Each structure stands twice: as structure tokens, then as C-alpha cells.
Amino acid sequence: MDSIVVTGGGPLNGEIPIAGAKNACLALMPATLLSEEPLILTNAPRLSDISTMTVLLQSLGADAASLQHDKVLAMSSHDLTSTRADYDIVRKMRASNLVLGPLLARAGHAEVSLPGGCAIGARPMDIHIDGLEKLGAEIELRDGYLHAKAPGGLKGAQIDLAFPSVGATENLMMAATLAKGTTVITNAAREPEIVDLARCLIAMGAQIEGEGTDRIEIQGVDRLGGATHRVVTDRIELGTYMLAPVIAGGDVECLGGTLDLVQSFVEKLAEAGVSVEETGRGLRVRHDGGRVRAVDITTEVFPGFPTDLQAQMMALLTTAQGVSTLHETIFENRFMHAPELVRMGAEIEVQGGTARVTGVERLKGAPVMATDLRASVSLILAGLAAEGETVVSRVYHLDRGYEQVVRKLSRVGAQIERVKGT
């Protein structure tokens, strides 16, 4: 298995282009199942998760291909040949469950493997299931698969989500586009990826209002057409690279970034003593590499501080002046990076959903390993300023969500390389 070797030492200077959002693209791709006509996504990131979704869509009969050089994904689902999302694919990537709503709406039935838990938490699908049942679906769990059918078609309904789940909002919004009548989703997720999906569906002919608020109204239509849609900027990749010049010192412009995507994150950076400038081309972060101030952070649904940036922020706070507290409220087990950061000399105490981080002068490089995507990148960030060499193993997690991480960071001056494993 490959590993990434980072040698600490700044500063980092230059530009980092930010890719299209993994989490938007993973919801946009299944939208192709709703239409017989082609869906073209531009600004698509080149990631293993996108390849996995491509394979899943192909297994359902979609013609899905990525035109790698242009960051274009071309998909067409004229004829569906299967409605079964196989365990072998779903277990690799939870977002595979986003085919459930579209398949049910288009074909009237679907068999989708339950993804099971993952490193960051149990992640059940009860909110997706409740909502689809309100739309008239009958769903039972057999042999590890959700067997869903809607023999009379889906019908619009009022759906109040028990929690503003991103995936459930996406699944239900897609399913409702082809349901008969009006669906109103309240306590809906408001993440930018939801807005992006709604905009794409609207371009395909869907009637949706209220995306980006907690009340989304969808008027069902008979059919959807094709569309070309540009995937929104990846706000998590953006936040990750914005931290690099803060941790290592330097001046980096993250191209394509806008403040509205990372407002709560930028507010926490300001509290820590770091200012961010919107340049028109992106977000520019300058820092002298000195220790930032400690801050307290609670992860929340959008527009609150994103759970997907918690690990990276913890990497920064390990060397802050004072004691920081991080409360993780979205996932029950998302501090696996903490013991690895401790191996690098950080002082972190985790109790339940709270991590208390006492800033130290400097981290020291060490061999570290991560069990999920954002934990992996937090270790790379930590390595950028640590004394000596940090070797991050299990980098396949990184390949899920960060395209060309070594290239992007080395171009701004980081000493980082990928070492091929056996």
C-alpha cells in the first residue's frame, strides 16, 4: 500500500486550484437515473469515489464515462438493465445509497444493499426509509438489502425529517421530482451540495423551490430531460488547503473558493487570529507561521462548522496557544485522528464527543495511520509543520476525496511525496 511522506518546514506560497465537490458530484451522478436523456457534469473531481459511483451506475445499465482530461462526466440512462445496487459496491462507498430514490422513482422498485456502519459512526438509513415510505414506497430489509417498491408510483407528501440528513434530503428530493403531486420536505438539509443538486434537477426540468432553506417544495413532473451542469466547488477541499499556509506559514490563494461556502470556518479562523481575503479568483490566506489562538468549535449542520473540517482544524489547534475544545455533534466516532496526532506530540484528551486540545510548541514527525478520509488529510496537514518526517499510511482513504494532493501541495512548496507500497 502506498504512503505519503511529508517533511515539515514552511513557508508555502502560491496558488492551489480547488476541485469540484466530491459530495455534490456523488449526489448529482445518480440524478442521471431519473432521465432517459444525457446528463453532463463539468468540473467533476477525479477521485476514486467518483469511479466507484461510475461503476455502480454502469451496473444499473447507465452509460457513464468520465472524460478525465476535461473533468467532464457524461452519463446517460436510456435503458436501465438492473435496479440492484450490489453490496460489493455499496460497502466501498456509503453514498451508493443515493441511487435508491432515483431508481424507485424511475423504475418503481429498487434493491439497494444497506451500507452498514463505517469508521466514523453507525450511519443508519432510517430517515431515508421513513421519507420514502411517506412518498408511498413499501420497503423491507431482507438479506442485507433494502427491497423497495412503489407499484402505484410515488405520491407527493409532507415529510418532516427527524434530522436534517444530507443524504436523506438528496434521496427524497430526487424521488419527489417524478412523484405525483407536491412534496414538502421540512427540517431539510441546507448544505451547498443540496443547492447544487436542486439546481441540476431544475435544469433537467424538475420543479423545486426552497433549496438552501429548511423547507424544500417539489412539484412532481412526468419526466425529466437532459442537462449540463457545473459541479460546485468543494468547500471541504477548500477549507483543508486554506489551513496549509496557516499551519506551515505562507501565502496561498485557493482558486475557486468563495466565502459563502466556508463562512463558519472562516469565522473560527478569525477567532484564531487568521484573516482570509476574498480576491475574486478565490480565497487568499496569509500567515507568518506563528502559533494561532486556541478556539472552541462545535460541529453543526450547514451553515454551522462542518464535521468534515473538524479533523483538519484539530491539526491546526494542536499547536495553538492555549486550550481548544472541539465538540463533534454529527458523528459519534470522529476523533480517530486524535491518537495519531498524539503520536506526533499533540496533547489531546477525548471524552465522548469532546476533544480537549492543549496547544504545544511544535509537533514531531512520526509514522501515522488514519481510518478515514478527513483524518488522513489532517495528518498530512500536521506533518507540514512538524519537525522531521511524517509518514501517513493507508492513503487509499485520501484518494476518495483529494485529487492530486501531493501535486497541489508540492507546487506551493511543501516537501511531500507519495511512496509506492508493495
Ligand X SMILES: CC(=O)N[C@H]1[C@@H](OP(=O)(O)OP(=O)(O)OC[C@H]2O[C@@H](n3ccc(=O)[nH]c3=O)[C@H](O)[C@@H]2O)O[C@H](CO)[C@@H](O)[C@@H]1O
Ligand Y SMILES: C=C(OP(=O)(O)O)C(=O)O
Catalytic site positions: 118
CA 268, 274, 279: angle at the middle one, nearest 5? 100
Task: Give the count of residues interacting with ligand Y (CB under 6 A).
Answer: 7
Q: Which of the choices ligand X, ligand Y, none does residue 330 contact, using the CB cut-off of 5 to 8 A by kind?
A: ligand X
CB of 195 to ligand Y, least distance (A): 17
Minimum CB distance to ligand Y smaller for 261 or for 366:
261
- The terminus-to-terminus CA distance of the chain in angstroms comes to 6
Q: Which of 168, 274, 379, 392 binds ligand X (CB under 6 A)?
A: 168
Q: Check residue 125 for interaction with ligand X (CB under 6 A).
A: yes
For residue 4, the surrounding DSSP H or E stretch is strand 3-7
Minimum CB distance to ligand Y smaller for 35 or for 169:
169
Sorted by sequence, the CB contacts under 8 Å of residue 6 that are 6+ apart come out as 365, 380, 383, 384, 386, 389, 390, 392, 414, 415, 416
**What gap in Å lies between CA 161 and CA 177, rounded to an integer?**
18
Q: Which of the choices ligand Y, ligand X, none does residue 396 contact, using the CB cut-off of 5 to 8 A by kind?
A: none
**What gap in Å lies between CA 199 and CA 207, rounded to an integer?**
10
**Residue 264 carries which DSSP code?**
H
**Residue 118 carries which DSSP code?**
B
Q: Check residue 95 for interaction with ligand Y (CB under 6 A).
A: yes
Sorted by sequence, the CB contacts under 8 Å of residue 167 that are 6+ apart come out as 27, 94, 95, 97, 98, 125, 128
Q: Check residue 165 for interaction with ligand X (CB under 6 A).
A: yes
CB of 53 to ligand X, least distance (A): 10
**What gap in Å lies between CA 278 and CA 363, rounded to an integer?**
30
Bridge partners, residue 6, by sequence: 390, 416
Q: Counting Cβ atoms within 10 Å, is residue 61 exposed (0-12), middle (13-18) or buried (19+)?
A: middle
β-strand 158-160 against 182-186: which pairing, if any? parallel
Q: Which of 163, 277, 279, 362 binds ligand X (CB under 6 A)?
A: 163
Q: Grid coordinates representing 121?
A: 459512526
Site for ligand X in 324-343 (CB under 6 A): 330-331
Q: Which residue has the cell 469540484?
A: 20
Q: Which of 308, 328, 372, 403 binds ligand X (CB under 6 A)?
A: 308
Closest CA to 146 of 155, 154, 137: 137
Site for ligand Y in 2-41 (CB under 6 A): 23
The site map against ligand Y for 369-408 (x = CB under 6 A) is ----xx--------------------------x-------
Q: Which of 14, 116, 124, 421 binds ligand X (CB under 6 A)?
A: 124
Q: Which of the choices ligand X, ligand Y, none does residue 124 contact, using the CB cut-off of 5 to 8 A by kind?
A: ligand X
Bridge partners, residue 282, by sequence: 255
What single letter denotes the amino acid at residue 44? Answer: A
Q: Which of 123, 180, 215, 327 binds ligand X (CB under 6 A)?
A: 123
The site map against ligand Y for 332-371 (x = CB under 6 A) is ----------------------------------------
CA 377, 378, 379: angle at the middle one, nearest 5? 90
Residues composing the chain: 422
Q: Which stretch binds ligand X (CB under 6 A): 58-66, 124-132, 215-223, 266-274?
A: 124-132
Minimum CB distance to ligand X smaller for 97 or for 318:
97
Minimum CB distance to ligand Y smaller for 12 or for 236:
236
Q: Which of the choices ligand X, ligand Y, none does residue 284 contact, using the CB cut-off of 5 to 8 A by kind?
A: none
CB of 129 to ligand X, least distance (A): 7
**What gap in Å lies between CA 132 and CA 154, rounded to an integer?**
8
Binding residues for phosphoenolpyruvate: 22-23
Minimum CB distance to ligand Y smaller for 95 or for 172:
95
Binding residues for UDP-N-acetyl-alpha-D-glucosamine: 94, 308, 330
**What gap in Å lies between CA 233 and CA 235, rounded to an integer?**
6
**What gap in Å lies between CA 44 and CA 71, rounded to an integer?**
5
Q: Which of the choices ligand X, ligand Y, none does residue 373 contact, using the CB cut-off of 5 to 8 A by kind?
A: ligand Y
Q: Check residue 23 for interaction with ligand X (CB under 6 A).
A: yes
> CA dist 85 to 33, 88, 141, 392, Å?
13, 9, 14, 33
Q: Which of the choices ligand Y, ligand X, none does residue 374 contact, using the CB cut-off of 5 to 8 A by kind?
A: ligand Y
Q: Which of the choices ligand X, ligand Y, none does residue 235 contact, using the CB cut-off of 5 to 8 A by kind?
A: none
CA 145, 154, 141: angle at the middle one, nearest 5? 15
Interacting residues with ligand X (CB under 6 A): 23, 26, 94-95, 121-128, 163, 165-168, 193, 307-308, 330-331
Interacting residues with ligand Y (CB under 6 A): 23, 94-95, 308, 373-374, 401
